[in-house]
Structures are given as structure tokens and as C-alpha cells.
A and B are shown apart, each in its own frame.
Chain A
């Protein structure tokens, strides 16, 4: 709203004109509470400056006759602007001499203009979700507007500005805190406004509210040598939902502390908006800080109320915990066939079976590279087998945001190994591209299996994202797969993994599940999906230059091992800006153009470069330079030493430059032409093993 009002005032020329923009921006103060939006304009012109305009009329040669008298054209110009003829002047323009007049528009007082511009500035505000309340066609606002305070001036000069918004007449009054004052408070200017509201228990500045309750809350717990579990989201939430925040220390029965920290904090933070309290060692203590929207709790009734509610919530959680333990996760796994995953994809039992297969495929690939030992499969398998069992628990039904976490906690409580429990706990991670990944490799494998199943099986039943939406959040899952593969440095061909999974799915279609899948359409779509995800991740999350990313993804060397592709991007990016490298890129583009545009099929004869046909010293030099590094580059590439490979390629620069300087590729003689093209083709292939340099944007 601040910006809108600022724009409206500035358009109405009511702000001091000669102020520098930054000063003007800081001049306007905006504040808010759950019941009010406030704008304070500290400096405002009482009156618009007069506006002087020069209006250009007809050319002098038309408006003035030979005797120097005004013609009819001049008269009508003067008439139209209602000025006497004597006020007309002349101006010289590039097109000649013209009649002109100066017109002065008297500035109007702010008091008159404000009622015209303020309603629009206020109602023009947009909200994520807004409503109408007078009539359907009326402008919308976030909640019904009940009063409007508009005062111009301070102290004795203060006067209300009269206008009307949706039937509400503005005035010079406001209301204080609900519980404090029901009667309107009359205010004279902004100073008086903040003072009277403070007396009526309203602090209009959210930043001051936030700072004050945080400070007081810390003081409260420090007395007991405790500290608050910091939570920025919660602090903001409270600052924005109170007018007069005062923290209060409450307590709960110590016995609830046997519940896991995650559950206690979820109840306090997400459901009750309380801060959790811990000791110096980071152990939760049986206290909480609630922030009231009022000054005091003289009778202790409020604390009692909050403690009661929290106790009830904890009892619920305790009840769920105990009730849930009556069945182990293993037994709960047997109930998963009753919970549908997605239509066409069967139950969660079906999903877990598919996940086990994907996990096995990844595991075997890692085992081949000796990145895991065979006995570790047991942990992966148990974690996959149990990871969805918590969906049958009351705890997860009550706190859906704790899915996975609850499974991990229960696994631990039921004597499962830390490896398995942690993997279950983490397997929904990462929750977003910036989110944390699973902590362990076993967790990473379960996470990958879960997400790969959702994506591949999801595409098979046409759940893929479209331009208008992604109802099954498959993009998020795809981003998660890329992120985990990269962070755990899992070097694996995603494509061969998907193909193995596809073979399994195609061979294990059960009734009503993944039957009649158009795989010939599905697989290319999955392939393209992962290319997009990798591109998105590298560009937007890792912030590599878009053309670096594109060069790698477009290279002949496949991107389908995301780790490998990323290493190539990193190498390429590290050389960007180097003079030699940029020159080689330019040459690569030139080579590509010659090969694809200038050369025709007739010019082309595959084969090795025939050194006997190399005539010019520059082409001989280039051929030798190429032969000098080709073996080296191939070896570096093999060892995934991409940076070294690229540095070797960069050494070609002088030879390439001289070649293009002096040698005409498309020579008259066909054999020579063909031979030169073969040389260029060799270079092109050399580059393409790492990236398509032609994609690198050239510096202008």
C-alpha cells in the first residue's frame, strides 16, 4: 500500500519535487497490525505547485498576415485556450516559428486532492486472497473495511480528510485494542495517533513488536537459565498476528518429555505457535513461551488456558504414540495394501515393492564400482520395506508433516539399527531444491527409490506435469533425485537405471496396476523430464551460466549421468572468461557452421586426414597440434579430468587462429576441401566429448 500511496501522491505532485528518489522512498512509513494498515507521510506539500505549460499553436506564417496582424487561425488558437490575443508569444522550433502561449494552472490544495486519490490507492491494493462484502461487483479487500482514519497535519493544524470507501466515511478516529477500548479514539496527527494507540495497547510497528517480545521472552527464560529454541518463522508469524505482544512462560508436565523432540516442537510451534524452551545442552525443558496479545494475565487465567490446551495436545500425541506402538512397523507394513497410493499405481504395498526393485538396481550399480559392500543391502532393504509403514499410524494421520520422521522414531523405539531408522527418518528429503538431503547413503538410496518410482510410474499413468500444473509434484521429486545424486556423488547412468526399472515394471504389471502403459511414449518423456530437471538444477540452484549448462547438455557425450555432466559443467565454467578458451569456443562455432552449413553432402568423405594433402603451413600446424593433444584429451576425459582436458584443448588456440586466418576450407580442389573438412570434423569430435562449445554465447 505504501508504494501505491507514494505513487499516487507523487503523480498528484504533492511530494517535495526536488528530493532525491532515495530520500523520498525512505520518507514514507508503513506499519500494520492484524486490524489495521498504516501509512505515514511525514512530508507533504499543502498545495500543488502551479503548473506552467507552454502550448504551441499554429505556425507564424499561417497565423500572422503580411501586415503583421493576427489571422483567423491565431484568434481561434487564443479562443480555444481562453486567453486574450495579447498574451500570445512566439517560439522557434526546428520546424519553424510558431505561435505559443504560456498557460498557468493554479495548484490545488492537498486537502482537495487527497479525497480523490486515496480511495483508489487503498482499494487498488491486491492480496493473495480477497473478498467482497458490500456487493459482488465492488472492489475487493482482504477483510471488510470497518473504519478509515485520514488526517492531514499535526497537532492543532490536524484536520480530517473526508472521503468514502465502500460506504465507510473517513474520519479522524481510530480504535484501540479490542479488550482495551471499545470507543473511538480521536487523533490529531501521527504523533498523537501512535501515542493514543500505545495507551490503548496497540503498537503499530511489527518490527518493534517483534523486537520487544523476543527481548522480553529471552529475559523470561534466562532467569531460569534456559533459552528459547530460535525460530524466525514463528517470530514473524507472532509479530504479524498481534497488536500488543507480551510473552508468558508456561509449563507442562515433565513426563511429556519422553516424547521425541520433533513431536513436541511440532505441537508447540505448528499447532500452538509457542516457542519451545531448552537448557544449555540443547535438551528440551518442560516449559514453553506463548506470546499473548495483551498486557497482563493478572488472574493467571490465560496461562492456565494455554497450559490446558498444550496438555491436551501432548496427551493426544502421547495417546497416538502409545496406541501406535501396539503394532510394530513390520506388522504395519502388512496394512499398506489397504492404503491407496495413486489410482492406476495400486496401494503403498505395491509402491514399496517397486521401490525395493529400484533400490536394488542402484545398489548393484554402486556395488560394481565398489562404492558399497554387499552386506549393506540388508539395511537398504529393511529401510525400504518399513519406510511407508508410518502412514498407518495415528501420529502421522494427526501430524502429516511428520511422515517419515515418525517412522524413523518408531523404528528406533522398536530396536531397529540407527542406519535403518535414520534412513526411514530422512527418506522424504530433500523437501525442496534448497532443502537438506538425507544424512546417510542408505537414506539417500531410499529417497532415490521413492522418488524414481513416483516419477517413472507417475509418467506411466499420465500424471506428468503440464504447462498448467504439476498436481503430483513430480518436478519436486525430479529435483530431489538430481540433488541427491549430485550431493552423494553417485555416478550412475540415470537412463540405464530407468530402462532396467521399466523392464521390471513391464514384466510385473498386476491387474489394474501399470497395465497398458504406452512405454514408447512414456520413456522419451521421462528422459526429457530429467534433462529439464538437470538443466533447472544446474542453472537455478547451482547458478552456473545458462550457456555453460546448455553446452554440456547438448554435447554428444550424454548427460544422463548427472554427476558426470555436472563435473563437465564445473570444468567448463572454471575456464570461462579465459582468453584462449573463449577463442577456441568461437572457433568451435565457426567449425560447426562450416560443417553444417557451408559443406554439402558432396563435400564430405569420411575417413582420416590425409597428411599428404595438407599444403598450407597453417593447416599442417593445426593437424600437428591436434595430434599432439588428441590422445591426452581422450585420456583426461576417460579419467573425468575435464578441466585438464579443456586446458589441453585451449592450447590449440594459436594454431586454430592462424588456420582460419590463412586457409580457405572450401577450396576449389575437391580432395583438398574434403581433407580440410575431415580435419575440422576431428576437432569437432574432440570438443563434443565434453561440451558443445558452439552453444557458448560469444562476447560481443
Chain B
């Protein structure tokens, strides 16, 4: 192997983990993205946050970027594996509609991290993405940097079972991998979070504890019960949502304006995002059950369908309320 290394990134000093977050946030803020906060419910990916899942629906343009810790119970390795994390950090970017130069803009964002694409092997490899629990899929690439997968690049086509118009582009950076690459360390726990604190200092214990729970302590029966409860609560709320009965409304526009506006009002007050949170809870519990190997092939299909049903109903209501929200804005 050659002596390592005379890389230009040494000149500026390798970026710390937090400096990377700053650089990417600044870069995308300059592209007109709102820099949102991480979501506070467990998610398997940044895609599942409402800032993506809901905002890609409907016609309004939207640009957002945020850091999102994402939990995948099955990937837990008790903090022992140098590359594998139960909770990893994504930088999630949504551009709706996608700019025509989006691939170039993305490559420029790598430049912002000090990666000079003239000296690296960057590939866009076909990789179409699908999230069955969200009724979402898209067409895209995984971006490889010298053989390392660093970003998922997706043109969304559907979310919550709804065809998107316009479509969005989603960029999901795997930050730990990029950090280990930039800092040239073999073990993710050795990544410097800042000048004095390592990634291991920040996260190792958490990895261990969650791994123990997800693989050993989680009671499968309790998790199933919780999933049922969250689902039932979501279903109860959905039942209470006052649906548009457009025909009846058309028939009685003059007779009962008060009734219609009260429907609209209670539609606007409907706790849709809570229903969605409950749906996310179900999805996470599904992942825990899956990590325990407690789900069979057929049951998996049925459970995915249950979560997807919630997600699809949420998107339908979100879209139904859209015109009213616009009018009131």
C-alpha cells in the first residue's frame, strides 16, 4: 500500500463532524433551503420526517435541509462494529421542484466539504428507492465516492400513495461515513466530533444500550401490543376527521354555510401531525420486531400494509386540507 497521504484536505485540516454539519447546512441554506430541526420522534430515515413526508405533497415549491438522527434497530452492533450504527446521522435535503442542474449542485456540495471531484472517483450508480411503509418510491442513484456509498439521490415519484406533482429530489448524505473518509479514520467512533470530543464519546454508550434493548430486552409481545395501541389511537382519530362530502356541500351551499364552515374549521383543527407521529411510532416498533426476527414473511407484508394505510390516509387528508390552508394564508 502507498504511504498515506498527501491529500489536499490536510492543508485545511480535516473537518470535524460538527464542522461538516455547519458546512453542509450553510451550503444548502445558500441554495434557498430552510434549515429545519431534527424531528423528535424515532424515524428510520430523514424521509419520514414531516418536513419531507408531508411537504413533498401538493404543488407548493419547497426547499429544506436538516440533520436527522435515524434509527435502524437491525443495524445495531452494540457499539463494537467500527462501521455499523443503530442510529446514524443523515443530512436530508429536499428540493421541490428539482433544479435542472441538481447533479452538479450536489457535486458542488461535496466541494464544500473539501472533496475535489477531479481527484476522486465519483459515480452515480442506479439505485431506485422504495419505502413500502410510507407508500413512497422514487428513481435515482446511490452516489459512490471511491467505492464508498455516501449519498442516496432520489427523484421522488410517489409518497403516501400519491403521485407527486411536481416531483421533489431528495439527497440523503450518510454523515458518519463521509466524516470517517474526510478524517481518514478506520473506526467511526474515532471520528472527531469537535477538536476534543470524539464520536465515541458522544454515542458509544447509546449504541450499546439501544442494541441491548432491541436485540435482547425488547418484549416482542409488548411491542406488538404497543403497535396495536398506537395504530388504534391513530385509527380512532382518523375516524373523527370530518371528511369532505362534496356532493352534500354542493347541494347545500346556500342553505347551510355555517355548517360547511364549521366542517372546514374542524378539518383545520384536526391533529393530523399527531396521527402521523403515531404512524411513525408503529413503523419504529415494526423495525424493533423485525430486528428480533419476530416477524414472518407473511406477517411482514400485513404489518407493512397496516402502517402504509395510516401513512396514505395522512397524505390524503393533508392534500384535502391544502386548498383551504392556502385560502386562509
Give chain B's interface residue range (CB within 8 Å of chain A): 35 or more
* C-alpha spacing A302/B4, complex, angstroms: 11
| Contact code string B275-296 (vs A, CB < 8 Å = 1, else 0) | 0000000000000000011111
**Chain A residue with Cβ nearest B78:** A323
Contact A299 B6 (CB under 8 A): yes
Question: B149 to nearest A CB, angstroms?
Answer: 9
Which of A311-319, A479-487, A583-591 is near enough to bind chain B? A311-319
The listed residue with most A CB atoms (<10 A of its CB), out of B82, B124, B296, is B296
Which of A48-56, A130-138, A185-193 is near enough to bind chain B? A130-138
**Chain B residue with Cβ nearest A253:** B1
- Tell me which residues from 662 to 680 in chain A have a Cβ below 8 Å from any Cβ of chain B: none
Contact B1 A307 (CB under 8 A): yes
Contact A302 B119 (CB under 8 A): yes
Question: B151 to nearest A CB, angstroms?
Answer: 15
B164 proximity list for chain A (CB < 8 A) = 136
Residues of A whose CB lies within 8 Å of any CB of B are 34, 129-133, 135-136, 142-144, 146, 178-179, 182, 241-242, 251, 272, 274, 290, 292-294, 297-312, 315-316, 319, 338-344, 392, 397, 463, 471-472
B120 proximity list for chain A (CB < 8 A) = 301-302, 305
* C-alpha spacing A129/B118, complex, angstroms: 31
Question: A179 to nearest B CB, angstroms?
Answer: 5
Contact B292 A251 (CB under 8 A): no
* C-alpha spacing A305/B297, complex, angstroms: 38
Instruction: Please tell me which one of the listed residues B74, B181, B295, B296 contacts residue A305 in the complex, with CB atoms under 8 A apart.
Output: B181
Determine if B189 is an interface residue (Cβ-Cβ < 8 Å). Answer: no
Beyond A133-B155, A179-B122, whether A338 also contacts B292 by CB under 8 A is yes
**Chain A residue with Cβ nearest B84:** A316
B145 proximity list for chain A (CB < 8 A) = 305
5 sample A-B contacts, Cβ–Cβ < 8 Å, listed by A number: A34-B126, A133-B155, A178-B117, A315-B82, A316-B83
- Tell me which residues from 151 to 204 in chain B have a Cβ below 8 Å from any Cβ of chain A: 155, 157, 163-167, 181, 184, 186
Contact B121 A308 (CB under 8 A): no
Contact A179 B118 (CB under 8 A): yes
B60 proximity list for chain A (CB < 8 A) = none
Contact B74 A299 (CB under 8 A): no
Contact A300 B83 (CB under 8 A): no
* C-alpha spacing A599/B71, complex, angstroms: 77
Beyond A132-B157, A136-B163, A301-B120, whether A340 also contacts B7 by CB under 8 A is no
* C-alpha spacing A142/B84, complex, angstroms: 33
Determine if B107 is an interface residue (Cβ-Cβ < 8 Å). Answer: yes
Contact B146 A309 (CB under 8 A): yes
* C-alpha spacing A274/B147, complex, angstroms: 9
B147 proximity list for chain A (CB < 8 A) = 272, 274, 290, 305-306, 309-310
* C-alpha spacing A241/B121, complex, angstroms: 12
Contact A146 B148 (CB under 8 A): no
Contact B117 A300 (CB under 8 A): no
* C-alpha spacing A444/B4, complex, angstroms: 51
Contact A343 B299 (CB under 8 A): yes
The listed residue with most B CB atoms (<10 A of its CB), out of A251, A303, A341, is A303
Contact B299 A340 (CB under 8 A): yes
Determine if B5 is an interface residue (Cβ-Cβ < 8 Å). Answer: yes
Residues of B whose CB lies within 8 Å of any CB of A are 1-2, 4-7, 74, 77, 80-84, 98, 100, 104, 107, 117-126, 128, 138-139, 145-148, 155, 157, 163-167, 181, 184, 186, 292-299, 301
Beyond A178-B117, A306-B147, A309-B148, whether A34 also contacts B4 by CB under 8 A is no
* C-alpha spacing A325/B122, complex, angstroms: 37
Known: A144-B155, A293-B121, A305-B181. 11 other contacts (CB 8 A): A135-B165, A143-B139, A179-B118, A298-B119, A299-B6, A302-B121, A302-B146, A306-B147, A309-B148, A319-B80, A342-B297
Instruction: Please tell me which one of the listed residues B83, B126, B184 contacts residue A315 in the complex, with CB atoms under 8 A apart.
Output: B83
Dominant secondary structure at the A interface: loop
Contact B146 A301 (CB under 8 A): yes
Contact B5 A300 (CB under 8 A): yes
A293 proximity list for chain B (CB < 8 A) = 121-123
* C-alpha spacing A305/B115, complex, angstroms: 12
The listed residue with most B CB atoms (<10 A of its CB), out of A130, A178, A241, A316, is A178
Question: B218 to nearest A CB, angstroms?
Answer: 12
* C-alpha spacing A307/B1, complex, angstroms: 9
B301 proximity list for chain A (CB < 8 A) = 471
User: How many contacting A-B pairs (Cβ < 8 A)?
Assistant: 128
* C-alpha spacing A94/B77, complex, angstroms: 88
Question: A266 to nearest B CB, angstroms?
Answer: 15
* C-alpha spacing A129/B100, complex, angstroms: 21
Instruction: Please tell me which one of the listed residues B118, B181, B293 contacts residue A308 in the complex, with CB atoms under 8 A apart.
Output: B181
Contact A300 B165 (CB under 8 A): no
**Chain B residue with Cβ nearest A241:** B125
B2 proximity list for chain A (CB < 8 A) = 300, 303-304
**Chain B residue with Cβ nearest A273:** B147
Beyond A305-B145, A338-B292, whether A136 also contacts B82 by CB under 8 A is no
**Chain B residue with Cβ nearest A274:** B147
A300 proximity list for chain B (CB < 8 A) = 2, 5
B119 proximity list for chain A (CB < 8 A) = 298-299, 301-302
Contact B167 A301 (CB under 8 A): no
Contact A312 B82 (CB under 8 A): yes
The listed residue with most B CB atoms (<10 A of its CB), out of A132, A297, A298, A303, is A132
Question: B104 to nearest A CB, angstroms?
Answer: 7
**Chain A residue with Cβ nearest B82:** A315
Instruction: Please tell me which one of the listed residues B5, B138, B155 contacts residue A304 in the complex, with CB atoms under 8 A apart.
Output: B5
* C-alpha spacing A136/B164, complex, angstroms: 7
* C-alpha spacing A352/B173, complex, angstroms: 43
* C-alpha spacing A471/B302, complex, angstroms: 13
B293 proximity list for chain A (CB < 8 A) = 338-340, 392
**Chain B residue with Cβ nearest A243:** B123
Q: List 4 tightest A-B contacts by C-beta distance, closest first.
A: A305-B146, A340-B296, A131-B139, A343-B298
* C-alpha spacing A241/B144, complex, angstroms: 12
* C-alpha spacing A342/B120, complex, angstroms: 46
Beyond A316-B83, A340-B293, whether A305 also contacts B121 by CB under 8 A is yes
**Chain A residue with Cβ nearest B146:** A305
**Chain B residue with Cβ nearest A320:** B81
* C-alpha spacing A300/B100, complex, angstroms: 33
B117 proximity list for chain A (CB < 8 A) = 178-179
Beyond A179-B118, A301-B5, A315-B83, whether A472 also contacts B297 by CB under 8 A is yes
The listed residue with most A CB atoms (<10 A of its CB), out of B77, B120, B138, is B120
* C-alpha spacing A472/B298, complex, angstroms: 9
Contact A241 B123 (CB under 8 A): yes
* C-alpha spacing A297/B80, complex, angstroms: 33
Contact A340 B294 (CB under 8 A): yes
* C-alpha spacing A130/B128, complex, angstroms: 10
Question: B303 to nearest A CB, angstroms?
Answer: 11
* C-alpha spacing A471/B184, complex, angstroms: 45
Instruction: Please tell me which one of the listed residues A34, A178, A343 contacts residue B296 in the complex, with CB atoms under 8 A apart.
Output: A343
* C-alpha spacing A297/B292, complex, angstroms: 44
A341 proximity list for chain B (CB < 8 A) = 296
A146 proximity list for chain B (CB < 8 A) = 100
* C-alpha spacing A397/B292, complex, angstroms: 12
Beyond A146-B100, A300-B2, whether A131 also contacts B155 by CB under 8 A is yes
**Chain A residue with Cβ nearest B100:** A146
A340 proximity list for chain B (CB < 8 A) = 293-297, 299
* C-alpha spacing A319/B100, complex, angstroms: 44
* C-alpha spacing A241/B141, complex, angstroms: 11
Contact A251 B1 (CB under 8 A): yes
**Chain A residue with Cβ nearest B102:** A144
B4 proximity list for chain A (CB < 8 A) = 304
* C-alpha spacing A640/B294, complex, angstroms: 50
Contact A397 B74 (CB under 8 A): yes
Contact B186 A308 (CB under 8 A): yes
A338 proximity list for chain B (CB < 8 A) = 292-294
Question: A27 to nearest B CB, angstroms?
Answer: 30
* C-alpha spacing A146/B100, complex, angstroms: 7
* C-alpha spacing A310/B5, complex, angstroms: 18
B74 proximity list for chain A (CB < 8 A) = 397
